[in-house]
Amino acid sequence: MRVIARNTLRLFWQKHADAEGPLKAWFAETSRGTWHSMADIRKRYATASIIDSERVVFNVGGNKYRLVVKIWFPGKTVWIKFVGTHAVYGLLDVKKL
């Protein structure tokens, strides 16, 4: 999968150092992945929340942070739409990201 944009993750872990390892691991695994459907994501990430046919919320750093992505399966592309704390995530309408 092609992940856009890693810099979003980097900017976040510069402010939250404890998120660096988990975000790098997620990025590396996702970049090597070959997801064809939400079922593929669910198999690997049991705690991920499937929002709709395009959006997924991942728990990061022991459930301390949230990572919201939008996926285009035919193009094998994952867009990082949000990475942040629970407090900020709680204020979002994820379906509008």
**Residue 48 and residue 55: Cα distance in Å, rounded?**
10
Report the predicted TM-score, pTM, of the whole model to 2 decimal places.
0.92
Res 62: pLDDT: 87
Structure tokens at 86: 């629970």
User: Which positions ≥6 away from 13 have C-beta within 8 Å?
Assistant: 19, 20, 23, 24
pLDDT in tens, the chain (97 residues): 999 989 999 999 999 999 999 999 999 999 999 999 999 999 999 999 999 999 999 999 888 999 999 999 999 999 999 999 988 988 898 888 8
Res 63: pLDDT: 86
Cα dihedral value 29, 73, 70, 64, nearest 10: -30
Candidates 26, 33, 32; CA nearest to 10 is 26
Domain boundaries, the chain: 2-96
